[in-house]
């Protein structure tokens, strides 16, 4: 970990108007939760549905994509990464610091709002709120590692990430159940499934399979990012 790199990255992610985007996304979830609570519609089934569809399946991949690619992608694109790479700092320290920043951002803007929305809608019933928070957190760590690696490997990281999150996990998941099981979203849901007693949360993947897969994806993503950052070809900005 390197405090200076972390600080610069935080400033790049949260400076000026950019923070507005990061604040606006979870705000929609909180507003939805408040609206459902006020109208008295927030029973257990509705609140698990909202947390799953909005928190886990929409907010989490979106924020992980913004944070994961945003911490390193723009710097590589405009060549500023050279000023960091030419300092005597090991590449794994750079990658781990960037990854840590991404995870902190996902925690602050996806996991915490999920907890708040869950508590607002259903309190502590069946442990729904903490279960989804843990699910979003572990999913967020895996997503962040994958998207940081993508940003180091490809210039089209954001688009590839979107193709994975939307086309693979959502569109193909509806037609081919196999594609659904091979997704970070389902593995995170599996963790949530075990932690809550609510029967409306149903994952297609066993916990014994999901946890090793989450750990493996995170480790492979981090390793790939370190290896590719060792021999990074820096071209001029397009």
Partner 1 sequence: MSMSTIHDIGYRHYDGKRLGRAYTVRSLFVHNLRAAYGIGRPARAKVMPFLLGALMLLPAAGSVAIFAFSKEESALIRYSSYTSILQVVIAIFVATQAPVLASRELRFHVVPLYFSRPVGHLDFVLAKFAAMAVALLALMATPITLLYVGGLVSKAPDPADQLLRFLGALVGCVLFALVLAAIGLVVAAFTPRRGFGVAAVIAVYMLSSTFVGIIQGLAESQTNFALAGWAGLFAPFNLVDIVQVRLLGAKSTSVSIAPGLQGGVVALAVCALLVAGSIAVLYRRFRKAGLS
Binding to partner 1 by residue 166, rule CB under 8 A? yes
Give 159 or 199: the residue with its C-beta nearer to partner 1.
Answer: 159
Binding to partner 1 by residue 102, rule CB under 8 A? no
Contact by Cβ (8 Å): 109, 65: no
Binding to partner 1 by residue 73, rule CB under 8 A? yes
Give 54 or 210: the residue with its C-beta nearer to partner 1.
Answer: 54
Site string for partner 1, 4-23 (x = CB under 8 A): -------------xx--x--
**Residue of 30, 116, 162, 232 that binds partner 1 (CB under 8 A):** 162
As measured in angstroms, the least distance from the Cβ of 77 to partner 1 is 5
Binding to partner 1 by residue 53, rule CB under 8 A? yes
Give 17 or 86: the residue with its C-beta nearer to partner 1.
Answer: 17
Give 74 or 130: the residue with its C-beta nearer to partner 1.
Answer: 74
Contact by Cβ (8 Å): 59, 24: no
Give 117 or 213: the residue with its C-beta nearer to partner 1.
Answer: 117
Please state, in angstroms and rounded to a whole number, the distance separating the CA atoms of residues 190 and 187: 5
Binding to partner 1 by residue 159, rule CB under 8 A? yes
H/E/C letters for each residue in 115-171?
HHHHHHHHCCHHHHHHHHHHHHHHHHHHHHHHHHHHHHHCCCHHHHHHHHHHHHHHH
As measured in angstroms, the least distance from the Cβ of 123 to partner 1 is 19
Please state, in angstroms and rounded to a whole number, the distance separating the CA atoms of residues 205 and 153: 29
Considering only 60-68, 100-108, 204-212, 218-226, which stretch makes contact with partner 1 by CB under 8 A? 60-68
Binding to partner 1 by residue 234, rule CB under 8 A? no
Distances (CA, A) of 197 to 44, 47, 163: 11, 14, 33
Binding to partner 1 by residue 66, rule CB under 8 A? yes
Binding to partner 1 by residue 50, rule CB under 8 A? yes
Six-digit token string for 99: 């990854």
The site for partner 1 (CB under 8 A) is made up of 17-18, 21, 24-25, 28, 32, 36, 41, 46, 49-50, 53-54, 57-58, 62, 65-66, 69-70, 73-74, 77-78, 155-159, 162-163, 166-167, 170-171, 238
């Amino acid at each position: 970990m390197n405090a200076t790199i972390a600080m610069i990255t935080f400033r790049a992610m949260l400076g000026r108007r950019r923070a507005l985007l990061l604040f606006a996304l979870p705000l929609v979830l909180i507003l939805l939760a408040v609206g459902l609570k006020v109208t008295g519609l927030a029973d257990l089934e509705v609140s698990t549905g909202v947390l799953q569809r909005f928190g886990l399946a929409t907010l989490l991949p979106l924020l992980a994509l913004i944070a994961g690619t945003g911490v390193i992608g723009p710097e590589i694109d405009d060549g500023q990464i050279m000023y960091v790479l030419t300092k005597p700092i090991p590449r794994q320290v750079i990658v781990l610091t960037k990854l840590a920043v991404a995870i902190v951002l996902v925690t602050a803007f996806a996991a915490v709002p999920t907890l708040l929305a869950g508590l607002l809608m259903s309190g502590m019933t069946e442990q729904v709120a903490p279960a989804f928070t843990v699910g979003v957190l572990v999913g967020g760590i895996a997503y962040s590692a994958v998207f940081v690696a993508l940003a180091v490997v490809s210039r089209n990281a954001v688009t590839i990430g979107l193709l994975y999150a939307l086309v693979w996990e959502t569109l193909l998941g509806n037609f081919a159940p196999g594609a659904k099981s091979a997704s970070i979203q389902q593995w995170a849901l599996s963790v949530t499934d075990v932690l809550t007693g609510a029967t409306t949360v149903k994952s297609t993947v066993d916990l014994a399979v999901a946890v090793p897969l989450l750990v493996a994806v995170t480790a492979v993503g981090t390793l790939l990012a370190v290896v590719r950052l060792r021999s990074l070809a820096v071209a001029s900005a397009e």
